[in-house]
Amino acid sequence: MEASRSGAPADGAATIAELYFLKPTDIKPVSYTFEPPPGTPRQSGEYAPLPIRIADARRLAADATIDREGFALVEAPTLVEDFWNEAQLRSVYYPETERLLKQTIGARDVHIFDHTLRRRTNPGPLSFRRSVEGSPREPVGRAHVDQTLVSGPQRLREILGEAAASWSRRRFAIINVWRPLFGPVEDAPLAVCDARSVAARDLVACDLVFRDRLGETYALAFSPKQRWYYYPRMRRGEVLLLKCYDSREDVARFSPHTAFDDPATPREARPRESIELRCFVAFDD
């Protein structure tokens, strides 16, 4: 069986698409979430596309778990009628997600601290999309992780203040709960990398500058050992759980992911819309 750059089999249960990786650099990359001062680039660091075989997770990783691969697909019906309605998100979707995480991954406590709605609107390759302030965020077309070893605990302290101490005395994690707003998803699907195939040297810390704080994310450098997957034609009633950080060291701690331009996307495909909730979860172990 033919092998690929990502180690996935060439048996028809995969697609080949370009994913964008950070080129090696000695300077810490920086990205701004707003228009930076004149003369300052919106993003530093150079990203290069590579053709990667992305395996069909429905066929080849159907039993993926959040603590082994770093990601998991979960059936999750919702009563939300309009995800763009802030009141419905707070009153319906947040409680639904809290219950989901307690039932599916055994979380003792859940605190949702952030949500992002995305809509693909701008032309051009995903990697070079830029969201405009005041408009829906674009899908992110570069391989990345939402938090780092530094920013995970830092974010807990920023959000929970004194209460963070009680969370950090036991195991806690940050989970991204990703859901398409309609389905099946044909445009800009999400690719995820098996955490077991990612070496520490592949994760490159990058500053993420907000107007009121400094965050940190990981960009991903390419390695031929990395194994990439996606869930074709995701439905509105499914969510993808992504590990952004875990204080426990013997489980998957980070789940690199990226939107990508699928060569099989029909010309008339509806532009992807999605929502992601970032959640602190505390465990008894």
Tens of pLDDT, residue by residue over 57-110, are: 999 999 999 999 999 999 999 999 999 999 999 999 999 999 999 999 999 999
Percent above pLDDT 70 for the chain: 92
Query: For residue 5, is pLDDT > 70?
Result: no
**CB of 113 closer than 8 Å to CB of 276:** no
Domain 14-282 has what CATH class?
mainly beta
Residue 4: per-residue pLDDT? 40
Residue 132: per-residue pLDDT? 54
| Distance separating the N- and C-terminal Cα atoms of the chain | 41
DSSP state of 36: P
Residue 2: per-residue pLDDT? 35
Specify the long-range contacts of residues 26-29, CB closer than 8 Å, at least 24 apart: 28/205, 28/206, 28/207, 29/204, 29/206, 29/207, 29/219
For residue 100, give the nearest of 71, 70, 78 by alpha carbon. 78
Rounded mean pLDDT, 105-129: 86
Residue 11: per-residue pLDDT? 56
Q: Compute the distance between CA of residue 120 and CA of residue 187 in angstroms, rounded to an integer.
A: 9
Domain segments of the chain: what residues?
14-282
Residue 43: per-residue pLDDT? 87
Q: What is the pTM of this model?
A: 0.92
Cis peptide, bond prior to residue 224, ω within 30 of zero: no
Query: For residue 12, is pLDDT > 90?
Result: no
Cβ atoms within 10 Å of 12's Cβ, excluding its own:
8
Alpha carbon of 4 to those of 58, 150, 227: distances in Å? Answer: 19, 33, 9
Residue 128: per-residue pLDDT? 62
Q: What is the mean pLDDT of the chain?
A: 91
Per-residue pLDDT band for 141 (boundaries 50, 70, 90) equals very high
